[in-house]
Amino acid sequence: MTCEDERLRGKHALITGAGSGIGKAIALRFAREGAEVVVNDIKKEAAESTVDELKEFGHECFAIVADVSDSDQVQRMVKEYYSKFPSLEILVNNAGIGGSMNRVVSMPDEIWDRAMKINLRSVFLMCKYFGKLMIKQDAPEGQVRGKIINMSSARGKKGRANFAEYAASKAGIVSLTQSLALEMGKHRITVNCICPGVIHTPMYGPVTAEALASANQIEPPCLDYKPVGDPEDIANVAFFLASSDSDYMTGQSLMVTGGRLFV
Ligand code: NAP
């Protein structure tokens, strides 16, 4: 069922890694708000399963299967996207992988490179190849032309032992968001990022009592009633960043952690 006021009606959105978890929740929320949504994922079945759920809202939607860390595949994705949709008002760079639980001194070089490629290079490639077309698209005078929303992590704000490659890749997204916001402002494109805490998704895996106790010890949540967030908690903030309510914000990274402060 769509929302009564459909605040994203007329907007086209592309969400990477939307076959699962947070990306899927964002795709569903945007479609409920009236957006036409393109679902990217590296896995065909996952992308198509999200599209099947989106069809219920009755807006145009389709899947593009691609590895967003590969330049050729991103450029192919641009062609496929614009062969069906005329413009891109909301780009959500969400695809990513989790940490490997290695210490730096024993981390295989390939683990480091993989995190940088999938978590950080992918955001650069998407912003580069879609961004260059976004800046040219028509927009009513005085209105925001487009919105870019990057998925960082609270771990990108504060390192943790055994999380070095993940934390560094996510800190890179915070920095890239700031630089890009400075470049895109004159084109009336806002660029912000979200830093989720512990969110219950396939990437996080089962939230065991042991994992939760460890997380609570390092960064205790303030919101006692909810130590672990749901993908929809992040989708709510993504919707805010996609809507006109956030038009006067750019270059920001929003902590969505149930009160875990990460300071
Ligand atoms: P998820 O359930 O694993 O969803 C991520 C999706 O992205 C998966 O379907 C994944 O496919 C896909 N993907 C991975 N690499 C890709 C690539 N190169 N190209 C296209 N798609 C790719 O994870 P999630 O928890 O929703 O995480 C979404 C984002 O939020 C990530 O950037 C993550 O770092 C961030 N985040 C999550 C949490 C959390 O607690 N869950 C906290 C902070 C930040 P595969 O399954 O094949 O990898």
Substitution site in 29, 48, 97, 234 for ligand 1 pocket (most atoms within 8 Å of beta carbon): 97
Asked whether 229 lines ligand 1 (CB < 6 A), one says no
Nearest to 94 by CA among 236, 193, 222, 227: 193
- Give the ligand 1 atom nearest the CA of 203: 3
CA distances 171 to 93, 153, 160, 175, 178, Å, are: 15, 8, 12, 6, 11
- Of the residues 129, 166, 225, 248, only one is catalytic, namely 166
36-63 per-position pLDDT tens digit = 999 999 999 999 999 999 999 999 999 9
What are φ and ψ of residue 199, in 5° steps?
A: -120, 135
CA–CA dist 15, 67 (Å, integer): 13
Domains of the chain: 12-256 (3.40.50.720)
In order along its 263 residues, the chain shows pLDDT tens digits of: 777 789 999 999 999 999 999 999 999 999 999 999 999 999 999 999 999 999 999 999 999 999 999 999 999 999 999 999 999 999 999 999 999 999 999 999 999 999 999 999 999 999 999 999 999 999 999 999 999 999 999 999 999 999 999 999 999 999 999 999 999 999 999 999 999 999 999 999 888 999 899 899 999 999 989 999 999 999 999 999 999 999 999 999 999 999 999 98
pTM of this structure: 0.98
Per the document, the length of the chain is 263
166 is catalytic: yes
Instruction: Give the model's pLDDT for residue 2.
Output: 75
Nearest to 179 by CA among 131, 134, 237: 131
Judging by DSSP bridges, how do beta strands 146-151 and 12-15 pair with one another? Answer: unpaired
